[in-house]
Amino acid sequence: MLCYAVLAVPLAAAAFAGMVPWRRSVGWVTVLANGAVLGIGTVLAIETNHHRPVEALNGALRADALSAFMVVVIGTIALLAAIQAVRYLDVEIARGRSSARHASLYCVLVQLFVTCMLAAVLSASLGALWVAIEATTIATTFLVGHRRTDGALEASWKYVLICSVGIALAFLGTVFVYFAALHVPGHATGASVLDWTSLMAASHHLDPSVMRLAMALLVLGYGTKVGLAPMHSWLPDAHSQAPAPVSALMSGVLLTVAFYALLRFKVIADGALGPDYVRTLLVIVGLASLLVAASLLLTQRDYKRMLAYHSIEHMGLIALGAAAGTTLAIAAVLLHILGHGLAKAVLFLASGEILLVEGTSEIEKVPALLSRRPVLGGIFGFGLVALLGLPPFSLFVSELNMIRAELDVGLGWAAGISLALMAVIFAAVMGHGRHLLLGGAGASGKPAATPGIVAIPLVGGLIACAVFGLSAWPLQSLLYAAAHVVVK
C-alpha cells in the first residue's frame, strides 16, 4: 500500500500539471505532492526499521530500510526544489523567457523524474532498477535544456549521449550477472532471477570471473550516472546549464540514486569475490574523481560549475567510503548522501536565485554578496561551510566516520590522499567563496531583501543539515538498519 502510494502521488501530480493550464497553484500542488512523498517515506522508514521489508505488486516493488532511507532523501530534496520552482517559473514567465506551456512541461517532467527515481529505489529486480535509472535520463534531458540557450542545448546533448552509453554498459554488466545467476544450480528461474534478494542468497555460487567482468562494467556504467571519473565530463555542463531546481535534484539525489544501484550490486559481488575486488575498483574511481575535482576547482570562474565539480568530489568521497564497506562506513556513506543532498540542493537553489537577481553566473561579476544581499549571501556562505565539511553540519560527521572506517580496513593511504585533495579543494572553494561573499570594493546603497519563498526553505534545509550533524538521534537506527541491508 505504502509502495503504491509513494509512486502514485508524484505521478498523479504529473498528470495534474499536464492537464491543468499553468498557474501558481499548480506549482504548489507539486510542492504538496513532494511533501507527501517525504511523509510516506518517513512512515516507510519507521515501518521497515522495526519490521520486515514491505512488498507490493507481487514482490516487484520492495522497500527495505535502505530503500526507505532513499525515499526520504528523494522526498526532502524534491520538496525543496519544488518550492523554489514556483518562484523560478514565476520570474521566467514574468520576464518573457518562458511561457505557460513550458512551465507546465517543466512540472510534468520534474514529477516524472521524481517518480522514476522512486521506482528505482523501490524495484526488487535489478533489471527494473536499470530501466528506471535509464528513464531518469529521458525525463531530465529536456529539463537540462529548459532555458533554451545554446549552452543548454549543448549540455543536454552531451548529457544524454554520455549517460546513455554509460548506462548501456551497466546493462551489459547486469546481463552478465543474470548469466552467472542462470548457471547457479537450484537458483530461482524466470523473472525473479534478477531479484535482489534471490541474487543475495545465491551470491556465493556466482561464477567469480564472470562477476569480475560484470562489476567492472557496472562500476564504469553506473559510475557515469554518479558522475565518477573517468566518465564525469557531462556533469559540470548539465548541472550548470539546467535551471537551479533541476540542478538541485540532479546533484542532490540523482547522483546518489545511481550510487544506490552500485551499493546493491557491491554486496552481491562481495559474496562472489570477497571484498577486495570491488574495493579496488571503488578506490580507483573515487581517488580519480577527487583528483579531477581538485584540479578543475582551482581555476573555476563560474559558481554553478564550481558547485558541479564539488559534486564530483563528494561522489568520490562516497565511493571511498563504500570501498571500506563496513557497517560504520556504509552508515556514514548514507548520512553523507543525505547531508550532501541537503547542502548541495540549498546551494544550487541559492545560486539559482543569485543568477535570477544578478544575471550572471561568473564569480568575478558577483562580489560582496554578503553586504549587498545579506540573507542570500548568508545562506550561500553557510551552505559552503556545510559542503566543505565543517561542523556543525552533518557532512563533518559523515566524512570523519568514513575516514575512520577506511583506517579500520587498511585503506589509510587512500584516506590520506583524499584528505590532501580535500585540503586543496577547501582552499580553492574558500578563495572563490570569499570573493563571492566579501570581495570587491564593498557595497554602496541599501542591502536588498530576499523573498521569504526563497529564504525560508533554504534556511530550513541548512538547519536540518546541522541537526543531523549535532544529534544522530532521529536517524541513527535507520542509518544502521539501512547499512545492514547491504553489508554482509
Contacts to other proteins by CB under 8 A: 125, 127-128, 130-131, 134-135, 137-138, 141-142, 145, 150-151, 153-158, 160-161, 164-165, 168, 171-172, 174-176, 178-180, 182-183, 190-191, 193-194, 207, 209-210, 213, 236-237, 240-241, 296, 299-300, 305
Distances (CA, A) of 108 to 160, 202, 232, 262: 19, 40, 27, 28
Grid coordinates belonging to 357: 537577481
Nearer to other proteins, 175 or 407 (CB): 175
Nearer to other proteins, 57 or 449 (CB): 57
CB of 474 to other proteins, least distance (A): 36
Nearer to other proteins, 138 or 200 (CB): 138
SS3 274: coil
Classify residue 19 by burial, with Cβ atoms within 10 Å: 0-12, 13-18, 19+.
exposed
CB of 369 to other proteins, least distance (A): 23
- Contact indicator for 429, 310 with CB cutoff of 8 Å: yes
Nearer to other proteins, 220 or 369 (CB): 220
- Which of 227, 123, 128, 218 lies closest to 177 in space, CA to CA? 218
In the block, residue with C-alpha cell 560504520: 328
SS3 326: coil
CB of 102 to other proteins, least distance (A): 14
CB of 209 to other proteins, least distance (A): 4
- Which of 478, 463, 460, 472 lies closest to 35 in space, CA to CA? 460
CB of 11 to other proteins, least distance (A): 16
CB of 355 to other proteins, least distance (A): 16
Nearer to other proteins, 16 or 179 (CB): 179
CB of 178 to other proteins, least distance (A): 6
Q: What distance in Å separates the CA atoms of residue 142 and residue 144, rounded to the nearest whole number?
A: 5
CA 446 to chain centre: 37
Q: What distance in Å separates the CA atoms of residue 3 and residue 118, rounded to the nearest whole number?
A: 9
CB of 318 to other proteins, least distance (A): 23
Nearer to other proteins, 189 or 471 (CB): 189
Nearer to other proteins, 154 or 362 (CB): 154
Q: Where are the alpha helices (DSSP H) in 95-149?
A: 100-122, 126-144
Q: What distance in Å separates the CA atoms of residue 378 and residue 190, rounded to the nearest whole number?
A: 56
- Contact indicator for 3, 55 with CB cutoff of 8 Å: yes
- Contact indicator for 188, 124 with CB cutoff of 8 Å: no
- Beta-bridged to residue 54, according to DSSP, are 63
Nearer to other proteins, 155 or 464 (CB): 155
CB of 395 to other proteins, least distance (A): 25
Nearer to other proteins, 206 or 422 (CB): 206
- Contact indicator for 329, 420 with CB cutoff of 8 Å: no
